[in-house]
Chain A
Amino acid sequence: KQEVTQIPAALSVPEGENLVLNCSFTDSAIYNLQWFRQDPGKGLTSLLLIQSSQREQTSGRLNASLDKSSGRSTLYIAASQPGDSATYLCAVRHGDYKLSFGAGTTVTVRA
């Protein structure tokens, strides 16, 4: 059974600092990995999708890396802003189309 772990569970940083969020998974036979953002009381918004053959994806201030062999992904958010405060979730997709989620990292960016 795939286990997805996100560390730390919560993070508080001053505005302008770079954020580093970690995701690890136990079964490296994944199809892809996706990072989401969730604001309180809202649904999940897709941030970045990395296919299993890729090493990283970038979108604006966001960069996600994937090391499938070691079962790790890292989401970097450059120059954090108060608007980046949210919960960030990673999910891995398997060949049978199942999506398994980590519990998330709750980020607070202090102005």
Chain B
Amino acid sequence: NAGVTQTPKFQVLKTGQSMTLQCAQDMNHNSMYWYRQDPGMGLRLIYYSASEGTTDKGEVPNGYNVSRLNKREFSLRLESAAPSQTSVYFCASSERTRGEAFFGQGTRLTVV
């Protein structure tokens, strides 16, 4: 009963390096999301995908790109990491009808 799986769980990057955060869900959900969580700021939406083949910007999309690879997978890419992108990143998915959202366990990213 995996639900939403994120990889990696922890990552340290140097400024300017790139990386991709992976997310996969096995619940056949249509919608997927990427959030970042910072102390005192709550959860802020980076990008979301309402359905396979579509992606939309959230509140804080600058410095990020996403790919909805198929219905199961939604990846988040940092092209040139900056210290301001140090955060905990969460992926989530929800199904269309009832709309309940489920979250992964998070990726703790540090950019030095």
Q: Chain A binding site: helix, strand, loop or mixed by DSSP?
A: strand
Residues of A within 8 A of B33 (CB): 99
Residues of A within 8 A of B90 (CB): 43-44
With A32-B99, A99-B101 known to touch, is A89 a contact of B58 (CB < 8 Å)? no
Contact bitstring A61-103, B, C-beta under 8 A = 1, else 0: 0000000000000000000000000000101010011111111
Are B45 and A98 in contact, CB atoms less than 8 angstroms apart? yes
Are B105 and A101 in contact, CB atoms less than 8 angstroms apart? no
Residues of B within 8 A of A46 (CB): 100-103
Residues of A within 8 A of B56 (CB): 96
A101 to B101, CA, bound (A): 12
Q: Chain B binding site: helix, strand, loop or mixed by DSSP?
A: strand
Whether, in the assembled complex, A13 has its beta carbon less than 8 Å from a beta carbon of chain B, the answer is no
Are A99 and B94 in contact, CB atoms less than 8 angstroms apart? yes
Are B99 and A89 in contact, CB atoms less than 8 angstroms apart? no
Q: Which of B50, B99, B105 contacts A49 (CB 8 A)?
A: B99
Whether, in the assembled complex, A34 has its beta carbon less than 8 Å from a beta carbon of chain B, the answer is yes
Q: Which of A2-58 contact B (CB under 8 A)?
A: 31-32, 34, 36, 42-46, 49, 51
Whether, in the assembled complex, B2 has its beta carbon less than 8 Å from a beta carbon of chain A, the answer is no
Are A97 and B100 in contact, CB atoms less than 8 angstroms apart? no
Residues of B within 8 A of A32 (CB): 98-100
Are B41 and A93 in contact, CB atoms less than 8 angstroms apart? no
A32 to B98, CA, bound (A): 8
Q: Which of B56-99 contact A (CB under 8 A)?
A: 56, 58, 90, 92, 94, 96, 98-99
A: which residues have CB within 8 A of B?
A: 31-32, 34, 36, 42-46, 49, 51, 89, 91, 93, 96-104
